[in-house]
Every structure is written in structure tokens, then in C-alpha cells.
Structure 1
């Protein structure tokens, strides 16, 4: 049976979501692994003590830099992998590249769960990261290229609900394993690492039945196949809607235009804008990189991996801090449902704005109550509870806003000719932000404790003017139309929007007079923009 219409559309969404589920599980997994006494002893990170039947064995980290290094080296792998995946994805297609990334992941996961020392573990995490980088660079692009322009944000946001479900599964699996053998067993950390193989195998099986991106097929010169797949995805009641022909022709025009800019089809050319003319590829690269770096520095990397440490700082026992962290992850997952409903309706900019305000306030207050807790230990229950509450608030706001938007934005802002490489630049920023922060997090919490949260609060507030000035709205605009936004010589949003309106008026007038050209429609240098 050949799937069509909504069934095919939602099946693609579910299969992509399976890869994103793995991504979330893989990130969330290290939070529990880091606190496993046997893992701490194997990697020589510290020591463990028996705290009685209610707590079991509790690990104490004496080398936080080494602990952070094991976590952060994974992001060195994702940085390499996303650059590899961007090149391969534009060359051989989205589906084949995702399959290659999955093979890297399987190899890396097998090596990780059998690691016997820190060198082995670090090498395995780099290999695993390379595979994840492939998937992070291509899965959102594949999703964006099959989604409709009015539901593109919600389409990808739905997948990130599964991402956080992966975090939840990882956390509670590890929490449950902590009760086996008083928590001092190899299975407590080896089994959760091995379990990531299950969703990846499922993804690979499902991927074999999935269609290639019709936009990539057109770029590759396979027009008949592209139109057939686009018609199947957009079909309603087993018929082809009239909008398919228009969408198909729009893509053809943009592909023809972009072939004139082959010189920019390298990472070097994209970063410096070589040969991109008025398409301003370099500007888009910088926007993608910094949005992803800031996404991590608003604080989520610390909350995801080091939540038990934060709740322990709030005065909770190790076991209680662990289950509170698990409840926080569930709140995180549920909050992504808000993103599905609002990301296309309110737009990307509004989501980032209100997210930064809510997250910044929550971080400042969580840090303040953490300080009060230390100064007034007699009020531990009140101040500790307040700290935990604002961590929950922060996580919920992030899940509704900053979790999804920085992943959606790079998939929308690059031309088809370099879209996989463009999204890879976003993953480069994510890798830098994550690697940098996960390396510093244990050191920061060890040195300045609750003041770490104040640093994250400051970053949130500083992100507001950044988004206001430099990030134009992309919601409810066709992928082929977004080039118009970046045709302006000015990087400021107000100038880009004004230039966009002027180009739309010019295109309409030229269409009426019969003089419209693909170059004018895309706002290119050849069209004398």
C-alpha cells in the first residue's frame, strides 16, 4: 500500500520524530550516567560512599573537569558529523545521509556501553557524536522540505516533543536502575547507553520506506520523481490539489536561479559570502550559529545534564533530587505542546522574546532563593522549594519557546542549493554552545554555585535585543520566498522587512506586465535587486 496525503505526511513526521527521540535520549542519558558510582570509579572521576538503604551508594565527583570533558567531547563529534552530513546531504540526498548517520551512531553506542576507561569512552562518544551530527544536520531539513509553509514550525516542534520524551525515558530508566544493587552496578550505566540502539534500529527500518525530499530531487534533476512525491504528500482525498503545480514551479524557478551561484557551495564560501551576491549567505550563517550558541547559554544544557546537582544545591537529598529532576523533565515534555500550538501562530520572534523574559526571570529568582537558602538554613523547606519551583518554570518556558525555534530557523533561512550545509552551520553553533557549556558547567557549579544561574539569566536578557534587531520573521512564508528577506544590504530587521515589501510589489507589477523573471522573484543580484 502506497501512502498518500495526510497519512504519508504524518508518517514522515513520526519517522523523523524517532530520530529526534534518539537525540533527546542520548543527551538526557549522560545525566544519570554521570551519577552512577560504578561509572565514576571506572572513569576515575571520584569516589562513592554508602548512605544507607534509602539512598544506596552516592558518588562524589573530585575531578569535575574530567567529568565535563567526557560529556563535552561528544559535541566535538557532532561538530565534525554535522559538517560531513551537510556535504553528503546536499550531494547524495537526505534519506541516504540519515542512514549513514545511523550507522555511525550504532557503532559509537556499542563502543560506549562497553567502555573500560576514559580514553575508550571519549573515542566512543566522538564516534557517536559524528552520527548524531549527521542526523541533526539533515532530519530537520528533510522535515522542513516536506512540510507546508503554514505548519512547518508545528511539524518540527512535534518532533521535538518526542525529543524531550527521549530525555524523560532516559532519566526514569536510569532512576529505576539506581535501585538495583544499592545503585553500585555496571548495569546502571551500561544498559542505558546500549538502549539507544533500539530507537536507531527502528528509525533505520522505517527510513527504508520513506520518500526523498522533493526539493532535493528537483535540485538533483529528477523532476518527475520530485513531482510524484510532492503530489503524494500534498494529496487530499487521493487527488492532487491545484497548489502542487504552483509549489512545484516555484521550486523549479529557485533551483534554476541557485545554479548560477555554484561558487558559494562550500563551507568556506558560505561563511565569507563568496559569490552569493544579494542572497547574503554569510549573514544567514552567522544568524544560525549564534542562535544555537545562545540557545545553550540561556541555561538549558545545565538543567538537562546537571539538574540533580542543582536540586541538591537547593537542599534536597540525592535520591529526592533525582526524582524531582525526573518530574522536571516531564514538565519539560508537556510544555513542548505549547510550542506546537504557537510557533506558527505567533511566529518565531515573539516566541523567542517571551521565552527570554520568562527564562531570565526564572533563572534570577532561582539563583536568589538558592542564596537565601544558604544564608538562612532554618528556612530550607521554603527557600529550597522556591528554587525548585523556578527551575520548573524555566524548563516549561524553554520547552514552549527556545527548544524548537533555533532548530526550525536554520532549516528555513537557507536556499535549497545549500540548505543541508546551512543547517549544518546551525548544528556547529549548537555543538560549540553545548561543548563549551558542558565543559564549564561542573566547574561553574563547583566554584560559584547558585550564581551560575544568574549568568544564565543575564544571557537571556541580552538575547532580546539580538533577536529584535537581527532575526526577521520566517513563519508562514514559503521556503522559496524567504530569500527575499535577505536580499537587503542591511542586516537589520526593519530594513529587511521594508526591502521585502518593495520586492513583492515589484514582482507583482512585473508579473502583471509579463516581465517577471526567476531572478527578480528570488531577489538576486542578476535580477538587479
Structure 2
């Protein structure tokens, strides 16, 4: 693989990163089937199972929904811890070594989970597994973004998340098939799916040996020649030329290299921003406004879960059962819904860079909100009019499918892409870790609350998620600037405005870009931001 270059090398990196993201999706989707395994429910003391005939098999009844939700959600405590450690490690020792360490944590956690004998054992194993996932979630998207070109960065990561949902699909159908082994009450129904995740992670860890390190990280730590060599290999599909220094090489790669070097010199002047504490409060970041970027990343990931996908992923069988379908048919529908999810994700590969991040979030929120509210409404009508179960149940199920498809095409990928783009190279891994913190909080919160919500308020749970979708629209409009088709090095200019509102940031960005076009260096432009703040305020008032 050391001989690969150009598009072949980029596609290979994309495939390897996708293997880690496949594991991530598999690991999330896995618990949906585990929670419906009679032996697991009995071993963990979550409820009981009853035989409903050959067509339905054993149906699980959960009597301890809080305990069930706690086992699922504690995993996200692990991801929160792991992403914070991984962010520090990724900026300190590199992207490749950090991903390898994350893989070790995952394997240890998977071994402990598949051998768990009680709740305490399972809880500890879930935390350990989550730590490894946190490592990978914090670093894999960063590695991908730093290798990709600025015009294909979104599609690069969106393609990986197609594999993420493929992981959900594999987990679901594997567990569905294992439900037919014996009488459906065997231990293998839940222990084997947990152990299966070890295979893709081990393959990923082995292949990392031949993968290129992020050239941006190499420049950051002073390994300039190695970085230039890798960058030229990555951009070798561009025609070779002679750059302004007279050195033979790939013109595109050399221009990009020089731009990264200049930005690294600038960012090192803000070395006090390196700790998580300083990043959160903006201490030492000056006009880079790191705290603003942290808040945008955290809340976008929290909102990603509160628009409803956490409920659909784990509790889809429960939702379809509420729509009037039997246990076995509800499982079939959940599996088909996951396939729809995976196919829809491929739409993001085409649209995420062409339409941009903001448009995707807007139309996604509108479509998801409508679908969620109507799914809840038809579920309510089904309860009130059981004589029309076929019509109302089918309508409720259809809108769940529509919701999932729209989410896969929009909100699935964009909140993962955004934090990888918006932070300076000096703290990019830690910055993306803040995004994973938001994802962990959103997921942990909801997986703990979902069983309680469905138990207490039923289909009204879907109405709450629908309302959150519509609340997202003004937030995106006002606070989330467009990052598509802009280089990672341009992000410092995009967030240089004192105002957090998009319209002010865009106007200020245009002004700074014009100064660069006039021949000024990046360091000189950013150095003049503070002195120009007063004039910027005057322009804003006018």
C-alpha cells in the first residue's frame, strides 16, 4: 500500500476509515437485538419472556425499563471519557497511534460484554467498550477530513457513514437470524453478536500499519518533509508543475503545504488554548473564538439525537409494535427500515458538498419534523380506532420509514462532518472530541429516557421529537455558518468575526479573503482583526 497515490490512496484511506465507522454503526445497532433476547433479559433481570406461538416465537416483556435504559446509556459515559482522552492523545502522538489504542479498548470491552454474567459485569464492560468507541469517534473523522480535498471532504465522510448504517443493518439481521436458532432462547442469540464486532476492529487495526499519517498533524509537530511527501502522494492526480520556489513537485500539493505551514505558525501563538478547559471558555484563543466553535459542535450533536434518531435506532421494534404489528412483523419492518436508512445515506454523498451543510440541515429538519408528528398522530388514531388498524398502522409505519430516509440523507452525516472542519489544526482532535461529547450526552440522555418516555406517554414521544426538529431551523439559520467547499485553513477566517451570527461572520470572512487576495499573509490578516473590530461594528450598524 506504500506505493499507492492519488485517488487510489484517498479511496483506500476512505475504505479503512469506513471500516472503523462500520464498527461504530454495528456497535450501536447491536443493542436493539440484544434487548429482545430472552436469555439476556433473564440473565440481567430486566423482565420475562412468553411464548406467543410459532409465528411470533418468544416475546420479551420488560419490567425494569430504567435498568434496561441504564445498561444501554452507560456506554455513552464511556464514549464521553474516551473521546476526551482520545482528543488529547490524537493531538499529541498522532492520528494512527490513537486509533490503534482505541481499537485495543474496543476489543477488551467486547470480550467482557460477550462473557457478562450479571448487570454489574455488563455495565463495566459497556463503559470500557464505550471508551474505545470514543477514541475512534474523536479521531477517525478528523483523519479523514485532513486527508481529503476541501471540495470532497463532506462526501468523503458521508460515504463512510453509509458503511456506518451498513453496520446497523448487519447487526440487525444477524440478530434476527439468530432468533431462529433453537427455540430462540439460547445464549448465542446475544453473546455472538457482541463478539462479532471484534472482527472488523482487528482488521482495521492491522491495516493501519500501512496507512499514511495525517500530513497536517505531521506539519504541526515539525515533520515537514514527511508531510510534504504524503501530501504529494495524496494530490498526485493533479498535474505536476513547478511552484514559485522553483522546486519540482505537484503544484496543488505545494500550495496546500505552504498554506498549512503558515496557519500552524499562526495558531502556535495561541498555545494557551490547548486544554479542554481553555477551549470551552475561550481562554487564550483570542480572535480564533474557539469557545464559539466548541458550543456549535456540542449542540449540533446533541440536537442530532433529539431530532429522534436515537429512539428509531434502538426502539424501532417497539414503535412498530405500537403501530399494531405483531412482534415478528415488527422485527421485519425494523430490518427493512434500516436498509432504507443505509440507501438514503448515499444521497448525502452527492448532496453534502454540492448543496452545503446548512441546506441539508434545513430541509432535513422540516421533513423529519413532519414525518415524526404524523407517525405519532397515526399511532394515536390506531389506538382510538382499532377497527382500522391496517390503514392507520400502515400510515404510522410509512412515516417512520420516511423519517429514517430523510435523516440518513441529511442529519446523520452533517453533525459529524462539522466538528472535523471548524477547529484549528492545533486543537482539531480535541475540537472533534467536543463534538463526540455532545453526541455522548445526547445519546446517553435519550437512551436512558426513551424506555421511560414510551412507557409513560407512548406515541406523544414522537411528537416531542417532531417539535425539536422545527426548533432546529432558526438555530441553524442564525448560528451555523457554511463550511462546505472551504479549506480547513480558511476556518480561522470564517470564525474571526466578533459576532456569532452567520450574516456577520460571512461579511467579515469576505473582507479577510479580499485582503489575502491583495497579497497579505495570513498572519498579517489575522493580526489585524482586533484592530479592525471597531470599524466592523460601524459597518454592522450601517
Q: TM-score range by the shorter chain?
A: over 0.9
* Cα gap change, 1:308 to 1:64, in 2 (>3 Å): same
1:69 aligned onto 2:70: yes
1:83 aligned onto 2:84: yes
Out of 365, 371, 375, the position equivalent to 2:384 is 375
Structural RMSD (CA): 1.2
Out of 499, 513, 528, the position equivalent to 1:504 is 513
Contact 1:38 1:184 in 2 (8 A): yes
- C-alpha displacement of 1:188: 0.3
The residue correspondences of 1:349-364 to structure 2 (distance < 5 A) are 349-364=358-373
Partner of 2:243: none
- C-alpha displacement of 1:242: 1.3
- C-alpha displacement of 1:241: 3.2
1:518 aligned onto 2:527: no
1:473 aligned onto 2:477: no
Give CA deviations for 1:102-140 in whole Å, capped at 9, x if unaligned: 000000000000000000000000000000000000000
Out of 495, 502, 526, the position equivalent to 1:486 is 495
What is the distance in 2 between the residues matched to 1:399 and 1:526? 41
* Cα gap change, 1:523 to 1:451, in 2 (>3 Å): farther
Partner of 2:539: none
What is the distance in 1 between the residues matched to 2:285 and 2:532? 14
Partner of 2:184: 183
Give CA deviations for 1:474-519 in whole Å, capped at 9, x if unaligned: 000000011111100000000000111111122223x1xxxx2332
Give CA deviations for 1:11-31 in whole Å, capped at 9, x if unaligned: 000000000000000000000
What is the distance in 2 between the residues matched to 1:77 and 1:455? 27
What is the distance in 1 between the residues matched to 2:269 and 2:250? 31
Give CA deviations for 1:391-415 in whole Å, capped at 9, x if unaligned: 0000000000000000000000000
- C-alpha displacement of 1:523: 6.4
- C-alpha displacement of 1:153: 0.2
Contact 2:239 2:250 in 1 (8 A): no
Contact 1:28 1:170 in 2 (8 A): yes
Out of 440, 451, 465, the position equivalent to 1:431 is 440
Out of 450, 455, 458, the position equivalent to 1:449 is 458
Partner of 1:109: 110
What is the distance in 1 between the residues matched to 2:443 and 2:207? 29
The residue correspondences of 1:177-216 to structure 2 (distance < 5 A) are 177-216=178-217
What is the distance in 2 between the residues matched to 1:220 and 1:314? 56
- C-alpha displacement of 1:528: 6.1
What is the distance in 1 between the residues matched to 2:160 and 2:142? 12
Residue aligned with 1:2, SS: coil
Partner of 1:330: 339
1:280 aligned onto 2:284: no
In structure 1, list runs of 5 or more residues that go unmatched. none
Partner of 2:267: 258
Count residues with an aligned counterpart: 524
Runs (4 or more) in structure 1 with deviation over 4 Å come to 237-240, 521-529
What is the distance in 1 between the residues matched to 2:333 and 2:370? 21
- C-alpha displacement of 1:87: 0.1
In structure 2, list runs of 5 or more residues that go unmatched. 241-248, 534-542
Contact 2:238 2:252 in 1 (8 A): no
Give CA deviations for 1:359-383 in whole Å, capped at 9, x if unaligned: 0000000000000000000000000
What is the distance in 2 between the residues matched to 1:179 and 1:265? 53
Contact 1:19 1:199 in 2 (8 A): yes
- C-alpha displacement of 1:298: 0.2
What is the distance in 2 between the residues matched to 1:420 and 1:117? 36
- C-alpha displacement of 1:237: 7.8
